[in-house]
Structure 1
Amino acid sequence: MHVPDGFINAPVSAVAGVVAAGAVAVSLRGARRELGERTAPLAGLVAAFIFAVQMLNFPVAAGTSGHLLGGALAAILVGPYTGVLCIAVVLLMQGVLFADGGLTALGVNITDMGVVTVVVAYALYRGLTRVLPPTRRSATIASFVAALVSVPAAAVAFTLIYAVGGTTDVPLDNVFTAMVGVHVLIGIGEALITALTVGTVLAVRPDLVHGARGLSAPLKLRVDGELVDAPAAAAPEPVAARSTRAVWAAGLAAAVVLAGFVSFYASASPDGLEKVAADKGIDEKVQEHHTADSPLADYGVKDISDARISGGLAGVIGVGATVAVGTGVFLAVRKRRTPEDHRTAEAV
């Protein structure tokens, strides 16, 4: 759903840029309360993983594909404020290095793919986890539903932005119906990827899932017909002492494999927005990307003719750049953490 330059006029793009900048500023402050010594590097890894999975377009209908947006996944794993920053980093890397998503439309993309998806998904996720049993299974189910809803929500948000600042005269009811229809299907893929990832991390290291803190129900035993808390087991290794290196290495390796190898087999069909734009005439005034001559444009390395090697190498470079920039940003944010932020994080 990367909006290119030319879909939305300059005034509305500028307003969206201001909204996105404000959201990023608020998220930078909020992320100080979410990021700890262990989670700052992991947030950079989440950004790189989302970048990698976004390269894996999957077919959803005849001639149409979809890809992960990632807002729900980021928010649940590392927190909503950090989640917005993760998506912003991914979109910045894609726009600058790979000519994917317009630079003048960066504010539109961050607002739509980052802020809207994170806010909708995390609000729904938190609501569901409050009414469902406090278990890891419930957290996985809630992540599925939250991710599923977040994608058509982003489609609705794009339609509203287009209604105000669209550069072509297309009936809005046609745009709305087409966008929401195809993105409900894409949302199913988003939900499956999100639930699978969240469920996997919960099974291995539940302490690293921001949205699952405090969800594990205490073990109960039935004594004389009544349920009572089970005796405490031997003291586990303190959470703070558990290393995240293995998780970080495994996650980075998975991102490299997905972007460097699996991405070659991704669907070549246009994604939901591209398909709707072509069918409805939204793309009549699309503009050439400002970095169209980038050596990595269109996720290929310039002057390498072998498509498999070119695309795989571009994917690996993208993962490396995203994890480097993301980790740097999150470590810098954490260093600005105040004693008040620390107390708030402990309370949460």
Structure 2
Amino acid sequence: MKKIFSLMLVGILISGFLILKGRNTDRKVLKYAYGSNSEVVKKSMAEFGRLLEEKTNGKLVVEYYPDGQLGTEREFIEMVQTGVINFTKVSGSALESFSSIYSIFGLPYLFDSEEHFYRVMDNKDIMDKFYNSTEHLGFVGLTYYDSGQRSFYTKGRPITKPEDLKGMKIRVMQSETAIKMISLMGGSPVPMSNSETYTSLQQGILDGAESNEFAITTARHGEVVQYYSYDEHTRVPDIVVMSKSTLDMLTEEEKKAVYEAAIESTIYQKDKWKDAVAEAQKQMIEEFGVKINTIPDKSRFRELTSSMHDEFKQNEKTKDVYTEIRELGDKK
């Protein structure tokens, strides 16, 4: 039923866009679809639309289709490719099947700290390599949003060392890098969409998953798991992407406004992110009763996945950007 509804909406979007093009008007309504997100990210995407309308004196207006109304992250990307929608915001891991360079964000312990992550993500020379890598496929990156660290949350027992993952079925994003990481750590990776995770945990199909704190609160996975274990294996950014055909239709002034609004919405999100995470941590404990455990020594997790770093160092497509990212690290 949901699929039929999504297809109907897509049909409406296509016809609505064609009617708009045929009108003698300067006002353009741009479609922005996305999946389930924390409130702070939703507000940041809304801020992008507000800023864009303000910067173009109402000539560019953003219309939102939230909470997976139109499908999954992969489907959003494909709709942006074809121009059915104009914007989406997806995990960087969802982009790796379109451009292999994005797979580097799924590399465990790529970033030494949150500060290292920001130094990389705010570096235009580095990030343009990512954003422009999909131009030939019909879409480009505009900016990023912080999606925090990713750690394990589980039923039955916490994760304190890699050996605890043995025999556990762990949901991962549909990402080859994430699948390999869990396998090397000793778990059994199960790639699936986020929308299926709650039910799979509830029914015992999964023993756990890995994500940020908002999976426990916003997605309410805290209702079906008992432990959140801070191994902080990855920091995968969210990426805002735009249809290249849409971008090409805009005036130079409008293009400038799009990029400015995107970057300013990132600044807005970063300013509110830490407080949102702190509130989610409090909610995890007080509302959901999830037990949080820290893992002071993550060396075993790093050791087991070190071969993945070697692969990225040697790969012709990723070795240069891997070196650039690591050179901005805390441990130079």
Bigger relative contact order (CA 8 A; separation at least 6): 1
- TM-score > 0.5, shorter chain as reference: no
Alignment TM-score, normalising by the size of structure 2: 0.29
Alignment TM-score, normalising by the size of structure 1: 0.28
